[in-house]
Amino acid sequence: MSSIEIDRVSKRFGPVEVISELSLRIESGEFIAFLGASGCGKTTLLRMIAGLETINSGEIRIGGERVDHLPPGARGVAMVFQHYALYPHMTIYDNMAFGLRNIGAARPLIDQRVQQAAKILEIEPLLARKPGQLSGGQRQRVAIGRALVKDPKAFLFDEPLSNLDAALRVRTRVELARLHQQTRATTIFVTHDQVEAMTLAGRIVVMNNRKIEQIGTPMEIYGRPASEFVARFVGSPAMNFLPVSVAGQGGRALLALASGAQLQTNIALEDLPSGEPMRLGIRAEAIRLDSEGSLPGKVEVVERLGDRTHLHVRLADDSTLIAEDVGHSRAAPGDSVNLRIDPDQAHLFDAQGRGYRAAAEARS
């Protein structure tokens, strides 16, 4: 296990700068996810760590050793790609053993590692087959096993679950979590899927427009988004947003909504920029039906999800909110309802998209 340090790394493709002086430290044994939409730079960053892309400036260190001048095979990392990249004419055993044979590893060591990896991944009965005889999930496990036998300093996963169907993604996600618990290897996992990042990673690096928007644990990212982009990108459904005007009361922000309703928050007024337009951000689970709620509206769409129900509600000012109700909600399209917003779950975002939230001690 080794730490990975990225120090002011920049990358250009011709005149276009795709990564600009990015710095990040990944601790030894940590499982970290690079999360973002296509084109945000997350795969480019991963490929620079692997040595598949050169860097234009900065340094990359693995286990304290500078590696940005080394070829991929000398960096001590193993990469698992979105496409399995297995040799179709080789058996599963030979696919997994290929890398070790290339570096001249002894036959007993190769056999030991292949058998051990096959046992961990539960693919021992498949070793004599060829890739064309395997399902997509089995082929992905072989690709992971091929990386595992190298006993690398770090695993680099580039959207490895994207080609799997929904049910298989869930099962493979569990297998990856178990694999990390067994090996405790430093792992970087690139994904555009927030569920994969939230359920697998100890920390998430949210990337947008080729820069880091926020780094934090899954619940820090979800509960205290640093920007409007993070608040929109993480969470399903996405956070609701409403324009508000801000006044002060007892040193805390008092919000006036376009509908005329007011919401007293615990967000410190002194933390907010003065004179800027602000937007209230609130997640669906912080908006509930309440006959005495101060926010009237009309239900337009009812989404029944089993354990909970999402209600799309149009307000008097023609804006819409998604509120959460119980699984056996009696609400129906066309119903007039009143909503109550939990003020302790309120977020504010300024014109630049920066996020503000009450300190934890202020909400307790």
| pLDDT per residue as tens digits for the range 193-248 | 999 999 999 999 999 988 899 999 999 999 999 999 999 999 999 999 999 999 87
What is the C-alpha to C-alpha distance for residues 125 and 276, in angstroms, rounded to an integer? Answer: 64
Tokens (6 digits) for 110: 């190769």
Residue 154 to residue 80: CA distance in whole angstroms: 11
Task: Give the whole-angstrom CA distance, residue 32 versus residue 16.
Answer: 27
pLDDT on residue 219: 95
* Residues present in the chain in total: 364
Tell me, what's the pLDDT at 167?
A: 80
Strand, coil or helix: 232: helix
Which band of pLDDT confidence, cut at 50, 70 and 90, is reported for residue 60?
very high
Closest CA to 253 of 281, 229, 290: 281
The DSSP secondary-structure symbol of 273 reads P
Question: Which DSSP letter does residue 237 get?
Answer: S
Selection from 83-92, 269-278, 304-313 with the highest mean pLDDT: 304-313
Minimal CA–CA distance to 288: which of 309, 266, 268?
A: 309
pLDDT bucket at 364, cuts 50 / 70 / 90: very low
Other beta carbons within 10 Å of 221:
28
* Angle of helix 136-148 versus helix 92-102 axis, rounded to 10: 20
Q: Give the C-alpha separation, 108 to 114, whole Å.
A: 10
Going from the N-terminus, what domains does the chain have, and what CATH number goes with each?
A: 4-232 (3.40.50.300), 238-363 (2.40.50.140)
Asked if 221 and 272 touch (Cβ cutoff 8 Å), the reply is no
83 to each of 32, 53, 87, 139, 155, how far by Cα in Å? 21, 18, 12, 10, 16
Please, which residues have CB within 8 angstroms of residue 220's CB and are 6 or more apart in sequence?
A: none
Tokens of 58: 């900065």
CA–centroid distance for 99 within its chain: 30
Contact between 339 and 289 under an 8 Å Cβ cutoff? The reply is: yes
Q: Cα torsion at 100, 103, 104, 108 (round to 10°)?
A: -20
In tens, the pLDDT along 306-320 reads 999 999 999 988 999
What is the reported pTM?
0.88
Angle at Cα 266 formed by Cα 207 and Cα 214, nearest 5°?
10
Nearest to residue 301, comparing CAs of 316, 309, 314, 311? 311
Handedness of CA 11, 17, 18, 19 (dihedral sign): positive
CA–CA separation, 90 and 98 (whole Å): 9
Contact 33, 204 (CB under 8 A): yes
Half-sphere exposure of 307 (CA within 13 A, CB side): 1
Q: What is the pLDDT of residues 331-363, one digit of tens each?
A: 999 999 999 999 999 999 999 999 999 875 455
Query: Rounded to an integer, what distance in angstroms lies between the CA atom of residue 221 and that of residue 357?
Result: 13
Average pLDDT over residues 188-194: 94
d(CA 214, CA 54): 25
Kindly state the DSSP code that residue 202 receives in the 8-state scheme.
S
Nearest to 228 by CA among 194, 285, 278: 278
Helix (H, G, I), strand (E, B) or coil at 112: helix
